[in-house]
Structure 1
Amino acid sequence: MEQPRLLAVHAHADDETITMGGTMALCADRGVRVVNVCCTDGSLATIVDPEMAAREAEVRPRLAEIRREELTRACRVLGVDEVHWLGYRDSGMAGAPTNSDAGAFWRADLDEVAGRLVAIIRSVRPHVVVTYDANGAYGHPDHVQAHRATLLAVEAARVGDRYPDAGAPWTVSKIYYTAFPRSEAERIVALAQAAGLPPPFGDTPIDELGFIADDAVVTTGVDVRTTIPRKLAALREHRSQIGPDFPMLLAPEEVMVKEFSVEHFSLALTRVAGGARESDLFAGVAV
């Protein structure tokens, strides 16, 4: 039997854990080879750790290195087999002057980025690829660029005369986008209110949250209750970006296991038969 393989393409260190850390760990537990690609160095991110923030003049020049170390540790916790860094410069939030900086991922040549991903796809030979939707989940330029490059790479990887020096062609069976359904956001807000906790999304109305997906486009819910403890541990490894007041870390672990046990995805492309609703990214994949 062939080993099933999962490739995740994310913009920054911590995106993998926040959006699908439980799924990565679950796949690893089930014998899936899990590979993560991080597209940028994350050097422009806000430093949330108080101790690091107090030393920002010292920490900022090393932030790319720090985040790489954090990602390495988080992926080790989750059981990820392999991590690839594309090394593009963080573009900053949408509309920031840094979007136009030389070396920024947003300005990178898509043909070049896709070619690098094609080489990874043809080497790893994943059955399933996960990235973001066309809005990059919440409009961040690096997330949008990751979406574009991943879709181009998946299609190019199966065509022999595209990037002929990148290895033998490989056809990916399924592509998913990470998703956060509206109904889940509403449920979380209600739970926090009932528990007397601060609003998890601050004062921003759900309709104005850029990362919310309509329930109609969410096809897949993966039960990750057995791996929630590792997801939380991996989140804590991203110390520069995720503080103790991060919504997923505010609730006791037993509450997270009970109430936040599903990670959601939207099936964007499939070359295998399947139903309208799924509970497994590998549903219908013959390995």
Structure 2
Amino acid sequence: MKQVVALALDGVMVFDLTCAVQAFRHGPDKTGTPRGFEMRTCGIRPGPVWTPNGFELRVEHGLELLDEADIVVVPGTGIPAQPVPPEALAALRAAAERGATILSICVGAFVLAEAGLLDGRPVTTHWAYCDEFAARYPTVRLDPAALYIDDGDVLTSAGLSAGLDLCLHLVRRELGARAAAELARWNVTAPHREGGQAQYIPSVPGERDTDGGLAATLAWAVTEPSAAVDVSAMAAHALMSERTFIRRFKAEVGTTPRRWLDAQRTTRARELLETTQLPVEVVAEQAGFGSVTALRAHLRATTGATPAAYRRSLGGP
């Protein structure tokens, strides 16, 4: 069991904290199999923790709990730039030095940066605080467009629900696609959202089209992969020229239609390889790839494995 510890500082955003709770603090599945994580929450010391959400939290543990953590989660606070107690910064640095995985949600990245854990690393945080973050921490490689960034032992997410995206990603990394898909279904959310924060940042009037949206076409492409064979088919479904569709897609989703399609198909193929014994040819067809060759190329680029090797390592029923 991986030991997960969330650090609740004064001002902790409860939504950020509960993203981690929903991902890591839950019981066994229907077969009685442990899900791989045990989560606890600590503060600077045991006792009350103030929140800006209209109520107070009470934690049973102090910073000593970080000494036992395999994974440390740092939720954001309502005042990102508020001073962080030096003992908390020291405890985070000690956890990182002994090899713990450190994860921040939303503006929790400010805390990690203050601890010196993000220097030179690619990171993200809530789009509304990116300018402030960049000014305070110029040595950090900030990506204001990403939903989350996995840099190995340090992971950061954008705001609010992107924290759940990141936690789902870490579950997938640790336990596989089946566990992440089951957890996503329980939380009534997508196992993986493609694109970045650009689709959620308010637009400047006149900067891009704001009428309508592409949600219906995205849903169609996911549910009918054999019909959404290429960008021109998606543009036709959206009743747009291909050029207009590509421009709108980049503005709303934050990536290109081709990359989005490839990511959706690869995710679906991984789920089928993990959870079924369907022939690889059928997996390629159901995932929307035109051939086993295309499936093999995209899976190798994503995971470094062939379909057969991927199935052997994670296994179907």
Query: Does the alignment reach a TM-score above 0.5?
Result: no
Structure 1 or 2, whichever has the larger Rg, is 2
Could you tell me the TM-score, scaled by structure 2's length?
0.31
Q: Which has the bigger relative contact order, CA under 8 A and spacing at least 6?
A: 1
Could you tell me the TM-score, scaled by structure 1's length?
0.33
